[in-house]
Amino acid sequence: MLVRDVMTANPICVRPDGDPRAALGLCKSARIRRLPVVDAGGQVVGIATRAMLEQFLAAAPPPSVQARQHAINQVMHAPVVTVAPDEPMEEAARRMVAHKIGSLPVVADGRLVGIVTETDIFRQFVEILGGQSSAVRVTVVVPDVPGSLARVVNVVAGLRGNVRSAIILPCEDTDCRAVTLWVEDATQAALTEALSGVQGTRLTSVWSSGGPA
């Protein structure tokens, strides 16, 4: 899945010389937490969050008629980490983790085309990781050799179960892998019995929305 599949296109944005109070009002009325800051050419020059704006306005003295008005470039974060729409979603997640940020402006040909947030990515990962309420989650440790996963999937197919998603992760033992499947149309009891008998593998958990088997 690519960033373009999960981002919010054409997000609300503000100019660097804009009024922080107006920007905060936008956040409240649109129920959003982040505003990309773009210049007259549409290039991203910063990002302002609702928390930043609230903190700045609480501390800043009110502008007088003679004094220069407050501007968003006084509070925005810059430079900004961005992502391209054709990059994988997991790369966007990696950058958020690496930079400890909750969103990324999406930039194509130097111009803002969207924004992707931690909520967008979390929602998709829930779906990918078997967030379907009807699916049974099973984890089996298999040898790290060709054909091991196929044996497990064939057992599920023999129960007429439908594998909705799968993840393979390394184990502490480098000679094996932990395979987690989300299976529909098969019961916990049937999966437990069938997968417990697969030679060379070890069933470690079976779970559904109703609880563990």
Residue 127 is predicted with a pLDDT of: 77
Residue 172 is predicted with a pLDDT of: 84
Q: What is the pLDDT of residues 78-104, one digit of tens each?
A: 999 999 999 999 999 999 999 999 999
Residue 65 is predicted with a pLDDT of: 46
Q: Is the pLDDT of residue 213 over 60?
A: no
Angle ∠(148,168,7) on CA atoms, nearest 5: 145
Distance (Å, whole) CA 182 – CA 162: 8
Q: Is the pLDDT of residue 68 over 90?
A: no
CATH number of 3-126: 3.10.580.10
**Mean pLDDT to the nearest integer, 39-51:** 93
- Residue whose C-alpha is closest to residue 207's, from 195, 150, 124: 195
Q: Is the pLDDT of residue 151 over 60?
A: yes
Looking at per-residue pLDDT, the higher value among 67 and 69 belongs to 69
**Mean pLDDT to the nearest integer, 112-125:** 92
Distance (Å, whole) CA 187 – CA 197: 16
Contacts for 114 with CB less than 8 Å, ≥ 6 apart:
3, 4, 7, 8, 9, 10, 11, 85, 105, 106
Q: Full-prediction pTM beyond 0.85?
A: no
DSSP states along 42-54: S-EEEEEEHHHHH
Distance (Å, whole) CA 77 – CA 41: 19
Is residue 130 very low, low, confident or very high in pLDDT (cuts 50, 70, 90)?
A: low
**Mean pLDDT to the nearest integer, 165-186:** 91
Q: Is the pLDDT of residue 209 over 60?
A: yes
Residue 30 is predicted with a pLDDT of: 94
Comparing 15-19, 27-31, 33-37, 64-68, the range with the smallest average pLDDT is 64-68
CATH entry 3.30.450.30 includes domain 129-208: no
**What are the residue ranges spanned by the domains of the chain?**
3-126, 129-208
Kindly list the distances between the CA atom of residue 126 and the CA atoms of 36, 94, 96, 141, 198, in Å, as whole numbers in the listed order: 26, 16, 17, 22, 28
